[in-house]
Amino acid sequence: MKKVDFRTDILPLKNKLYRLALRITLDSAEAEDIVQETMIRVWNKRDTLSELDSVEAFCLTVCRNLAIDRHDKKEAQNVELQEELHDRPDHSTPLDDLVQDERMQIVKQLFDQLPVNYREVMQLRDIEGKTYKEISTILGMTEEQVKVNLFRARQRIRDKFKEIENYGL
């Protein structure tokens, strides 16, 4: 197995860990604490890291478990997601921009209302770009369960969004 260097292999994962923790806890300060605790736990296991198939999966699993534990202990507050830069046509009007911003807010709220297991799968697949196999390793479920949870999460957001768009809040 490859020798794992903490500085080059583990520290660059801190942003991914933060995003995962934030998706679970919905609290930025709590997410920062979880990342720090994850780094401490990984550091304490540094002698056995070279035996692992995927150090990244191990780190994400530790982070996920810590975030779930903290989330279960304390009710989290909703935090704004940073809006991804997306292409808007140059000819968009302020009204178009306002409508798009409102739609993004609705999607963010719907995402935050999903059960934790759905949010985790969507975060890892759609935002982090992980494969189904990597997600199944991180979350400790089968690839089929990952696919089903991802489908159900997307479907729930889509259905609720259509309901809001068609009938209002």
Place of tokens 């935090």: 79
* pLDDT (tens digit per residue) in 44-62: 888 888 888 888 889 999 9
Q: How many CA atoms lie less than 13 Å away from 92 in the CB half-sphere? A: 13
**Domain at 55, CATH number:** 1.10.1740.10
Q: Which long-range contacts (CB under 8 A, 24 or more apart) does 113-116 make?
A: 114/153, 114/156, 114/157, 116/24, 116/68, 116/71
Whether 129 is covered by a domain: the verdict is yes
Whether 80 is covered by a domain: the verdict is no
Whether 1 is covered by a domain: the verdict is no
Q: What is the dihedral of CA 106, 34, 66, 45, to 10 degrees?
A: 140
Q: What is the pLDDT of residue 90?
A: 58
When divided into structural domains, the chain yields a total of: 2
| CA terminus-to-terminus distance, the chain | 54
Q: What is the pLDDT of residue 158?
A: 92
Q: Give me 98's structure tokens.
A: 């306002």
Place of tokens 């935050």: 112
Do 23 and 68 reside in the same domain of the chain? yes
* pLDDT (tens digit per residue) in 90-134: 567 888 888 888 888 888 899 989 998 999 999 889 888 889 999
The rounded distance, in Å, linking the Cα atoms of 34 and 71 is: 11
Give the CA angle between residues 7, 9, 13 to the nearest 5°: 95
Q: pLDDT band at 3, cuts 50/70/90?
A: confident
Q: What is the pLDDT of residue 84?
A: 47
Whether 122 is covered by a domain: the verdict is yes
**Domain at 154, CATH number:** 1.10.10.10
pTM value is 0.54
Provide the mean pLDDT of the chain. 83
Q: Which domain holds residue 156?
A: 94-167
Whether 34 is covered by a domain: the verdict is yes
Q: pLDDT band at 148, cuts 50/70/90?
A: very high
